[in-house]
Amino acid sequence: MADYVYGPGRNHLFVPGPVNIPEQVIRAMNRQNEDYRSPAVPALTKTLLEDVKQIFKTTTGTPFLFPTTDRVFSLLWIDQQQRLNFNVDVVESDWGYGADLAALDYKLRQDPSHSIKAICIVHNETATGVTNDLSAVRKILDKHRHPALLLVDGVSSICALDFRMDEWGVDVALTGSQKALSLPTGLGIVCASPKALEASKTAKSVRVFFDWKDYLKFYKMGTYWPYTPSIQLLYGLRTALDLIFEEGLDNVIKRHNRLGTATRLAVEAWGLKNCTQKEEWFSDTVTAVVVPPYIDSAEIVKHAWKRYNLSLGLGLNKVAGKVFRIGHLGNLNELQLMGALSGVEMVLKDIGYPVKLGSGVAAAAAYLSNSTPLIPSRI
């Protein structure tokens, strides 16, 4: 029975990361290890570092590929910085709301001595499906002529949502391989502006594994890696980037907008509410769905997996038991999403929620049938 653990067919993975891995990427990673100091791997790494800049939309940033994973969301980021003895001023927002820009404006106005060294913000909060307006954050910094660095967690946004590192004056941005890039977990991808690199030279924070200085030294040597990388992930990243560039990054972003909009229309047709409180904050990579008080959202997730081999995201922290999450990011198309939405409807029916079967699917289908473009290579 060990081989039957997933049942017939395939698992329908609709959590907000890790995501489905394209067959082309799986095939690219199906290879033996190589000597990472041989001429081949540095040559591959050089092209990856140059091409990774495109997903951040930067020409001036310096990228770093860390053999690691992400562990950065708003609450976790606060915890990490406090453990490292940074003086962290937490700006709270209610769950389902975006960053409090008025509070940020006030704090910068009250800081003429520029004691604030960095603004840290999550671009897309996967727990609640909230996307923050980074351009507005940059405008506030510029209004006060404040030199604080702008540090952005783009783990569930970069390669799926509009992200403009240079235009928005982002100083450090990071993402993870298992999100919109549609790779296995294992690569942390960081890009740093010239301003951030300069600041790192005098920063007194403790750094070892993630010290940019070590990487920059090996960049100059042309070998690129101070630590052993995953050869398989490097070849997988090469193929993942090729797939994104073949589709066109702007088209990838538009596709995610279609999938996000279709999901929100389905939720509305089910008579349920989005955890995100305003349309301006809606996420195109994950939708957190609020359930009625008499339903434990964890039961929805459990039942979906047990009966339909459908993986949905649990509610986290303050919204545990109150929401379930539908991830719609990565290498994903309209019909895959429609299958997941039909599965969610069946689960809702099974657990006693009075959903009209076909209601959400019909709303999503009506939208997608009018908005999905022809595949360019098949025109």
238 is in an annotated binding site: no
DSSP code per residue over 149-214: EEEEE-TTTTTTS---TTTTT-SEEEEETTTTT---S--EEEEE-HHHHHHHTT--S--STT-HHH
**Cβ atoms of 103 and 91 closer than 8 Å:** yes
Q: Among residues 154, 178, 156, which one has the least CA distance to residue 168?
A: 154
Taking the alpha carbons of 19, 23, 25, 29 in that order, is the dihedral positive or negative?
positive
CA–CA gap between residue 266 and residue 274 (Å, rounded): 11
CA–CA gap between residue 275 and residue 261 (Å, rounded): 15
* Strands 12-14 and 172-176, sheet pairing: unpaired
User: How far is CA 26 from each of CA 184, 281, 333, 375, rounded to the nearest angstrom?
Assistant: 9, 34, 18, 23
DSSP code per residue over 98-144: ---HHHHHHHHHT-TT----EEEEESEETTTTEE--HHHHHHHHHHT
CB atoms within 10 A of CB 211: 14
The tokens for 273 are: 């509410």
Binding residues for substrate: 325
